[in-house]
Copies of this chain bind each other. A is one copy, B any other.
Amino acid sequence: MLSNSSKYALKAVLYLTLHTDENNKMMAKDISEKISVPKAYMAKLLQGLAKREIISSTKGPKGGFYINPSNKNRTIMEIIEVIDGKKKMESCMMGLKDCNEHKPCPIHSIINPSRSKMIALLESKTINDLAKDLKLNKVFLPS
């Protein structure tokens, strides 16, 4: 439902939101250490996120990755989509071509209401929302 890569990406984006801005950038290597993600893998993910403008980056000395104000308004779902693709979460869990009320699979009624709720929330919450919770110590980032 959520790939490993998405988890790492989300962790990284939240970490960056808490600890960086235009004049406090951070290198891939350091981020990877802070959130315990393999560094080369982290770098690749961050590059992908930067390309899609989920996060910001600058090259060269004193460069690095960071979050600027417009980045903060991305929703959680946007991050997941960039990594896993749009439809992964919405596809039929039993393998029907498309998942809908009109021709539901046997577990559609079990899965779908909860999943829809979940998706709606992921689409409404921004990374800034979650960052606020983190600052208040209401929630915790995996080591």
Query: Is the CB–CB distance between B104 and A140 below 8 Å?
Result: yes
Q: A96: CB under 8 A from chain B?
A: yes
Which of the candidate stretches A21-29, A49-57, A64-72, A114-122 sits at the interface with the other chain?
A114-122
Q: How many residues of A contact B (CB 8 A)?
A: 38
Query: Is the CB–CB distance between A96 and B10 below 8 Å?
Result: no
Kindly name the residue among A104, A107, A142 whose own CB sees the greatest number of chain B CB atoms within 10 A.
Answer: A107
Query: Is the CB–CB distance between B118 and A106 below 8 Å?
Result: no
Query: Is the CB–CB distance between B94 and A142 below 8 Å?
Result: yes
Q: Which residues of A contact B (CB under 8 A)?
A: 1-2, 7, 10-11, 14, 76, 92-97, 103-111, 113-115, 117-118, 121-122, 125, 130, 133-134, 138-142
A/B interface sample: 27 pairs, CB < 8 A? A1-B1, A1-B2, A1-B93, A2-B93, A7-B94, A7-B95, A11-B94, A11-B95, A76-B107, A94-B141, A94-B142, A96-B140, A104-B139, A105-B139, A105-B140, A105-B142, A106-B139, A106-B140, A106-B141, A107-B130, A108-B139, A109-B139, A110-B118, A111-B118, A114-B114, A114-B118, A115-B118
